[in-house]
Structure 1
């Protein structure tokens, strides 16, 4: 049947891993940057160090076994195979929760929060806060199918997730997301209102309130500064992926060193990774876990297909008002910042707002304990 849930196990062929190592060893490197630090991108010396580690010491089978420790499935929706992880809580009254990742994220970034969300009693929490966790891979990402035609933007994905949750037997559920996952989740708050009871995002997508422009708060001034920095220094990747994802795909699909550099630079830019005045991605995340995420992109050959979501949805975001209950957690290292009064202008039923002290764009990856507590707090009133 087309709506069947097919059990799935990750089993990457040994030949694919051997090919990865061989390509890394044969990398033709560019000349080094002409400035200090990361101002021109990820430094050559660090990239070569990472590539050597990836080729000679990194163990994908460890990550594969970790992910295979949870039930995984594929199902076909609107002609596209969707891969997802489904961890049912031991509490039968748990609240169903669908979590959506973004770019350059994946299921990997949530591996530390799945068990505390599903079985809080076993992790120092209250059994009443339990969730049935559904983690799909976005179309074109990971082990989900790759769209063969245009039209798979955030609204289509949100409707797809609604079908997925119905197929799993969940008549009432809540949704969470960051990055593209935030856009998908907020689209569900507009289109899936019959069954979606509320949403939480850790990257609120809102516009500044025009009435505040002449008298911005300190937080809003920081938000303007962050947007100016992003537009001037940090948005090149999005311009390329939103306009010519296919052209980019040729380079990244052929060079694992290129794929490594393309994603690792964002781990440095978007994590809360400053220590003693120095920003470095390994201050926020372990080398192996970042390579787990990057390897998933490489092995699934999803450089071009993942970038196409920018072409589909980045240039015309839907900022229409939302009446469904919305919770927001604004971590300090987030790319796009906003104030509560900006959020309240779009989210007419803002039921939760908090600003944790640590964490960045990859909140569940960087600060799993805080992320779990944010979701428990945000959704407690919707049970």
Structure 2
């Protein structure tokens, strides 16, 4: 497989067009300040847009991003963007870091160097690979009916093999945890360990609450309560994604408000303004909002419960397959609910909900289960030191 060097170089005309759009933003006619109760706060967005126009320097950010080694590879027949940073010296542990939605490969911008550089106590160092999932950033989007966690997993497993990594760690959160699960399910001989910040959401649909423990029921109830209040984006992105995408593809402020609301809801503290805007810029210049939310409108189909009438999106579309042709339900010959690969969970208090260990153990061979004191859904941006320490501890325990 060819790995073509890649550099981020946005045309000036695109930056000029963005500036014009930001400067001519038409604001919603909100009657009075309501904080974040009805969505991304108006005052916050007005101040962020002022910062975006007057202080944010894309060219400086672009130069900073290009300090990493970027490449484009062909995986599953499509262009796949990735970063690869190697630790100095011998004995580094290969690790692939997988992002989700509403973030991007930029989720790991503050984590990469923390993992590739040595520590005072001689802790584990890593060779780091950070792909952009298919449909995100500078990766191509799959054809109709292809996009799923399984397709992304097959692409990334192919990439890691092409890089010469016979064994490696996989870390992920959000959709990244679902992709990580599928890599481990289909390539247990390659994955030395899984490190996740959540239990992939689809696993919940395999649970009969009547047979769950008290702690598991409390967790499921907490997720359902969150869903009824804060998961409207899932319903829209899975049922009317194109209608939504007209506005988000045309308005940079609209796109920013849509993405940043997710960060506000699920972060102990919002990431820095530069981080928030840079993440939005990657969606904007790649025009990838529509392709990224295909994971919700297409990639969530299928019968996760292996029962007769339960499925993820209520469409009754049992027996869907991933990009590898492997069924996501128990009818697939290769499908196993329990992942045999050693798995660690690093759980952060501001995430959607904290699963009990017995819930995680239904699906994974859990060897480490840590509840951190700070951080949220986007921990790699919020508290990279905590995440790096937990990754090191897990990797050291595997050796």
TM-score strictly above 0.5: yes
Q: Which residue of 2 aligns with 1:12?
A: 10
Q: How far does residue 43 in structure 1 lie from its aligned partner after superposition?
A: 2.0
Report the secondary structure of 2:361's partner residue: helix
Match of 1:32 among 24, 30, 33: 30
Cα separation, 1, equivalents of 2:67 and 2:346: 29
Cα separation, 1, equivalents of 2:31 and 2:391: 42
Cα separation, 1, equivalents of 2:141 and 2:253: 23
Q: Which residue of 1 aligns with 2:146?
A: 151
Bigger shift: residues 330-339 or 349-358: 330-339
Cα separation, 1, equivalents of 2:220 and 2:33: 27
Q: Which residue of 2 aligns with 1:278?
A: none
Is structure 2 residue 153 aligned with structure 1 residue 137?
no
Deviations 1:179-233 (A, max 9, x none): 00000001111001121122110012243674664x624x863x34531332211
Report the secondary structure of 1:345's partner residue: coil
Q: How far does residue 381 in structure 1 lie from its aligned partner after superposition?
A: 2.4
Q: Which residue of 1 aligns with 2:333?
A: none
Report the secondary structure of 1:329's partner residue: strand
Cα separation, 1, equivalents of 2:139 and 2:75: 11
Judge conservation of contact 1:33–1:44 (CA < 8 Å) in 2.
no
Cα separation, 1, equivalents of 2:121 and 2:85: 17
Q: Which residue of 1 aligns with 2:381?
A: 365
Cα separation, 1, equivalents of 2:183 and 2:107: 22
Cα separation, 2, equivalents of 1:335 and 1:253: 27
Match of 1:181 among 157, 176, 183: 176
The total of aligned residue pairs comes to 364
Bigger shift: residues 180-189 or 85-94: 85-94
Cα separation, 1, equivalents of 2:363 and 2:220: 18
Deviations 1:238-271 (A, max 9, x none): 1111222222211111000110100111111010
Q: How far does residue 323 in structure 1 lie from its aligned partner after superposition?
A: 1.4
Report the secondary structure of 1:152's partner residue: coil
Q: How far does residue 90 in structure 1 lie from its aligned partner after superposition?
A: 0.9
TM-score, normalised via structure 2 length: 0.87
* Cα distance change on mapping 1:33 and 1:289 into 2, 3 Å: farther
Judge conservation of contact 2:266–2:376 (CA < 8 Å) in 1.
yes
Is structure 2 residue 243 aligned with structure 1 residue 257?
no
Q: Which residue of 1 aligns with 2:193?
A: 198
Is structure 2 residue 356 aligned with structure 1 residue 339?
yes
TM-score, normalised via structure 1 length: 0.90
Is structure 2 residue 287 aligned with structure 1 residue 301?
yes
Q: How does 1:11-160 map to 2 (within 5 A)?
A: 11-32=9-30, 36-121=34-119, 124-126=120-122, 128-160=123-155
Judge conservation of contact 1:159–1:192 (CA < 8 Å) in 2.
no
Judge conservation of contact 1:32–1:43 (CA < 8 Å) in 2.
no
Deviations 1:151-203 (A, max 9, x none): 12101111111110111011111111000000000111100112112211001
Match of 1:231 among 227, 230, 240: 227
Q: How far does residue 334 in structure 1 lie from its aligned partner after superposition?
A: 1.1
Report the secondary structure of 1:54's partner residue: helix
Bigger share in helix = 1
Unpaired runs of at least 5, structure 1: 274-280
Q: Which residue of 2 aligns with 1:277?
A: none
Deviations 1:319-347 (A, max 9, x none): 82211111111111111431001111221
Unpaired runs of at least 5, structure 2: 305-327, 330-336
Judge conservation of contact 2:97–2:128 (CA < 8 Å) in 1.
yes
Judge conservation of contact 2:368–2:394 (CA < 8 Å) in 1.
yes
Report the secondary structure of 2:293's partner residue: helix
- Say what the alpha-carbon RMSD is for the aligned residues: 1.9
Q: How far does residue 116 in structure 1 lie from its aligned partner after superposition?
A: 1.6
Q: Which residue of 2 aligns with 1:246?
A: 242
Match of 1:326 among 330, 343, 347: 343
Judge conservation of contact 1:182–1:203 (CA < 8 Å) in 2.
yes
